[in-house]
């Protein structure tokens, strides 16, 4: 039986490179003997690696348990007193909940088609989750403040270790595109994996933020979130990136309910908004020639907030999305980022260079709290839509071919009198 320690050690092994590594590392003068020894070692290691994937009874047991999801309104009203007892209880809840959620992710990796699951990058993420499971599942019971402190330390390390999971998945799936016969199955895997991950990260961030006791926040919930400020933050970021990349940026104009203030979680907005704005800016710049720099049409951002939900519409005049591509724009790994023109045929990332229009810059300055850079991977729209739906909302893209694109992001308020009491669970 492969125990947790072994599977942690296996993290950096790539099963498909084991053989070649062993052949090239030694200094034996006796080639035959060396080869024989190398073969035995590598076979033993391969057997251990393989066992690490399917000999995990603890994962299976945990994955069968039901996940206990929290409603933000419950968090808001029950988690207000950030005293030691609340924080200890919060850590104890996570200690029960995290292995269940992480185990369900591992099972999903196992269920991928063989050739996809074997991709070294995807396998690397699978290993990352196995490692996280073993760390979390073997953590001793949390009874004291000291226990809680060391558990929280582990959690923040894990957040950091998993920082690039979205980018890794984006590049892994791009690599094995040609082996994917059932697009629907992969899209379902990614929707589920990415949204569960968002939920896991929100829970962990919530716990860690509770300890910080920031004024105006209950954990990750900003009790008086000024939507305008959140949008402006994304606008500034995208403008900075675009100005570096293109040397010109369209104006981003905000109107509507610009004074809207309500409790909400910034984390998903800080992911979704830059993705949509980046697309609008790119389309605007690329559909207008250099001499039109003074006349780049502005991007209009309109906010509406009502009793039930809030809506953000982002309208650009970047020419729209050609009819034959409108559906595909929301597919994972669909991008036109490499051919530099939205009207060109689709450049599926499986056959094109990894350099998206924004990729280099984004890697340098990306403040993305949910994942690393993922531009030019064709992950922005589908991931944003999945996140919006996970948060009880929607993301719709309306193209006016020849003119521009309107994107509508609708999200339910955490606790609206007009809606059912809990609009979503994390």
Q: Could you list the residues that contact ligand COI (CB under 6 A)?
A: 102, 132, 158-159, 162, 165, 197, 200-201, 204
Judged by beta carbon, residue 371 or residue 378, the one nearer ligand ADP is 378
Task: State the greatest distance between any 2 C-alpha atoms of the chain, in Å, as a whole number.
Answer: 79
Among ligand ADP, ligand COI, none, the one that 191 touches (CB under a kind-dependent 5 to 8 A) is none
Q: In the set 72, 79, 378, 392, which binds ligand ADP (CB under 6 A)?
A: 378
Q: In the set 234, 342, 368, 423, which binds ligand ADP (CB under 6 A)?
A: 342
Q: In the set 321, 361, 411, 426, which binds ligand ADP (CB under 6 A)?
A: 321
Using DSSP bridges, classify how beta strands 404-412 and 309-316 pair: parallel, antiparallel or unpaired: antiparallel
DSSP β-bridge partners for residue 256: 303
Residues 84-143 that bind ligand ADP (CB under 6 A): none
Judged by beta carbon, residue 280 or residue 361, the one nearer ligand ADP is 280
Judged by beta carbon, residue 67 or residue 326, the one nearer ligand ADP is 326
Separation of alpha carbons 426 and 416, rounded Å: 17
Q: Which of 380, 353, 356 is nearest to 368 (CA)?
A: 380
Among ligand ADP, ligand COI, none, the one that 201 touches (CB under a kind-dependent 5 to 8 A) is ligand COI
Residue with tokens 């045929």: 345
Binding-site residue total for ligand ADP (CB under 6 A)?
23
Smallest separation, CB 142 to ligand COI (Å): 16
Among ligand COI, ligand ADP, none, the one that 373 touches (CB under a kind-dependent 5 to 8 A) is none
CA distances from 222 to 97, 186, 273, 376, 423 (A): 24, 34, 17, 32, 17
Q: What is the DSSP letter of 55?
A: -
CA distances from 423 to 196, 223, 225, 391 (A): 17, 16, 17, 8
Separation of alpha carbons 394 and 28, rounded Å: 62
Q: Could you tell me how many helices (H) and strands (E) the chain has, helices first?
A: 15, 8
Q: In the set 59, 142, 265, 280, which binds ligand ADP (CB under 6 A)?
A: 280
C-alpha angle 224-228-230 in degrees, rounded to nearest 5: 75
Separation of alpha carbons 29 and 254, rounded Å: 72
- Name the segment binding ligand ADP (CB under 6 A); options: 4-12, 96-104, 228-236, 277-285: 277-285
Smallest separation, CB 105 to ligand COI (Å): 7
Residue 202 is encoded by which pair of tokens?
A: 């929100």
Smallest separation, CB 159 to ligand COI (Å): 5
Residue 380 binds ligand ADP, judged by CB under 6 A: yes
Q: How many CA atoms lie within 13 A of 327 on its CB side?
A: 1
Judged by beta carbon, residue 152 or residue 335, the one nearer ligand ADP is 335
Q: Where are the alpha helices (DSSP H) in 165-226?
A: 165-175, 183-212
Residue 335 binds ligand ADP, judged by CB under 6 A: yes
Residue 283 binds ligand ADP, judged by CB under 6 A: yes
Among ligand COI, ligand ADP, none, the one that 309 touches (CB under a kind-dependent 5 to 8 A) is none
Applying CB under 6 A, which residues contact ligand ADP? 275, 279-280, 283, 316, 318, 321, 329, 334-337, 342, 356, 375-382, 405
């Amino acid at each position: 039986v492969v125990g947790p320690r072994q599977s942690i050690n296996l993290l950096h092994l790539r099963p498909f490179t084991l053989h070649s590594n062993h052949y090239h590392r030694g200094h034996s003068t006796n080639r035959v003997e060396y080869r024989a020894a190398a073969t035995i070692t590598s076979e033993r290691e391969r057997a251990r690696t393989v066992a690490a994937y399917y000999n995990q009874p603890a994962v299976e047991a945990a994955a069968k348990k039901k996940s206990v999801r929290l409603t933000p309104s419950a968090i808001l009203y029950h988690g207000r007193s950030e005293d030691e007892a609340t924080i200890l209880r919060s850590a104890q809840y996570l200690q029960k909940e995290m292995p269940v959620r992480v185990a369900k992710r591992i099972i999903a990796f196992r269920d991928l088609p063989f050739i996809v699951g074997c991709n070294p990058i995807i396998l690397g993420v699978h290993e990352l989750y196995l490692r996280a499971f073993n760390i979390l599942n073997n953590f001793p019971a949390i009874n004291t403040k000291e226990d809680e402190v060391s558990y929280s330390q582990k959690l923040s390390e894990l957040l950091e270790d998993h920082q690039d999971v979205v980018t890794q998945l984006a590049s892994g799936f791009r690599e094995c595109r040609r082996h994917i016969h059932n697009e629907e199955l992969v899209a379902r895997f990614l929707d589920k994996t990415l949204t569960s991950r968002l939920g896991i990260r929100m829970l962990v961030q919530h716990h860690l933020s509770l300890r910080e006791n920031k004024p105006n926040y209950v954990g990750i919930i900003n009790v008086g979130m000024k939507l305008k400020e959140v949008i402006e933050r994304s606008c500034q970021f995208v403008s900075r990136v675009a100005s570096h990349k293109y040397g010109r940026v369209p104006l981003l104009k905000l109107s509507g309910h610009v004074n809207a203030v309500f409790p909400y979680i910034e984390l998903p907005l800080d992911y979704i908004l830059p993705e949509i704005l980046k697309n609008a800016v790119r389309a605007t710049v690329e559909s207008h020639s250099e001499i039109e720099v003074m006349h780049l049409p502005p991007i209009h951002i309109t906010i509406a907030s009502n009793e039930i939900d809030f809506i953000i519409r982002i309208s650009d005049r970047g020419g729209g999305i050609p009819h034959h591509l409108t559906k595909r724009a929301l597919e994972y790994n669909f991008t036109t980022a490499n051919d530099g023109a939205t009207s060109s045929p689709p450049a599926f990332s499986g056959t094109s260079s990894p350099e998206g229009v924004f990729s280099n810059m984004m890697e340098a300055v990306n403040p993305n709290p949910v994942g690393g850079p993922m531009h030019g991977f064709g992950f922005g729209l589908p991931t944003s839509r999945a996140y919006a739906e996970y948060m009880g909302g929607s993301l719709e893209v309306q193209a006016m071919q020849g003119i521009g694109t309107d994107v509508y992001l609708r999200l339910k308020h955490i606790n609206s009198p007009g809606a059912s009491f809990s609009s979503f669970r994390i």
